[in-house]
Amino acid sequence: MTAPLPLEGIRVVEMTHMVMGPTCGLVLADLGADVIKVEPIEGDNTRRLVGAGAGFFPISNRNKRSIATDLKDGRGRAAILKLVASADVFSENFRPGALDKLGFGWEALSALNPRLIYVSHKGFQDGPYAHRVALDEVVQMMGGLAWMTGPPGQPLRAGASVNDIMGGMFGAIGILAALNERHRTGRGRHIVASLFENTVMLVAQHMAQHAITGEPLKPMSVRVAAWGVYDIIATADSERVFVGVVTDTQWAVFCRDFGFADLAADARIATNTGRVQNRDWLIPELQRRLGAFDAATLSARFEAMGLPFAPIARPEQLFDDPHLNASGGLLPISLPDGRTAKLPALPIAIDGERPGVRRDAPKVGEHGREVLAEAGLAAPEIDALVADGVVRIGEGWR
């Protein structure tokens, strides 16, 4: 961006791994904060994930600096505490009590730096489940999201780490609120964001639905639709297109533009309620008629009508999406093997500009010397820490 970023001047010490905590740091870093990622000597374990986890580190750690240190060594702990003493935010996602043993718990760090905002990314808020280990899939199962996503009797996790990402976002929201409050009070806060409660918020609409209707909930795959036409159409070229006709005005436009005068005149389906009640014959009939078109033709006609529609895309097709490429929605990100890929930007525009990449995801300990120097350590002290294996200076991705 050409203008200064909103969070320039805010320093964050991040002691996180996997997705939830790093996502919080990503939001802050993309918005201009100086996020210092504290890693173990061997590097964040997330760097070494394969399969579905292979993309976690590069997508969540751009615009950050890395220091790798041995926190079991008192000198390593002292060095990081020097960073925390002047930081604005400390972010962690360790199991409850783990950082207290190392001297990095909320009470210790708040005493060291009363202005510090401390955010904990946890599986659960305080309560009977607080001691449990949580992962995105765990909370999707126990929070009802998997039940609502899969076919009846076959719970299925959502196709992305929705709770981890949402949890990081809520952590960032809590930090921003606490930073604003600190202007008035001069003191920090302890923020806790949690995976299980994220899931419960995601299914709140279904809980409210049950409270209103008193009826057992059905998974989304077999739900009673809120709209009469809200479906995926199989096209003549073996593709599929989703279309929604969600108002009576849209229904009139839809029937007129496709020449479906008989449907427009049918009193049974003149209203959305009527179309919902007659879906059992209406949707197969629309499939029969619309299935004669190819996907491109249907999409063009739906767009011209102003209807909500979508071709069914796979994630790998998004690299070439014309809108994402034209709007700055994809950023050049370096991959572990040195290649570059276009990966999603933060979905925010500020005065028409998208926050970009100022730094690639760091090598292990890549910025250790400069970070420690900024914390007040002299060059001989830093050299000694490196020589003794307490601090590792960047040698590679892993």
Any idea which residue has 């529609």 for tokens? 309
Helices (H), 261-343: 261-264, 272-277, 279-290, 295-305, 322-326
Structure tokens given for 231: 């479906």
Catalytic (active site) residue 164: yes
Phi, psi of 394 (to 5 degrees): -45, 120
CB-based contacts of 132, cutoff 8 Å, min separation 6: 123, 124
Q: Could you give the angle at the alpha carbon of 201 between the alpha carbons of 198 and 206, nearest 5°?
A: 140
318 closest CA partner among 185, 183, 168, 160? 160
Q: How far is CA 265 from the centre of its chain?
A: 46
Token representation of residue 367: 């910025």
d(CA 189, CA 174): 9
Which has the closest alpha carbon to 361: 336, 328, 392?
A: 336
Question: CA 377 → CA 80, 365, 372, distances in Å?
Answer: 11, 16, 6
**β-bridge pairing 229-234 and 89-92:** unpaired
Catalytic residue among 164, 248, 266, 351: 164
Tokens of 179: 């930073």
The strand pairing partners of 118, in sequence order, are: 90, 190
Pull the structure tokens for residue 111. Answer: 């005493």
- Residue 335 CB contacts under 8 Å (≥ 6 apart), including other chains: 58, 341
Contacts of residue 358, defined as CB under 8 A and 6 or more positions apart, other chains included, come to 63
Is 173 exposed, middle or buried (CB count within 10 Å of its CB: 0-12, 13-18, 19+)? middle
* Catalytic residue positions, numbered: 164
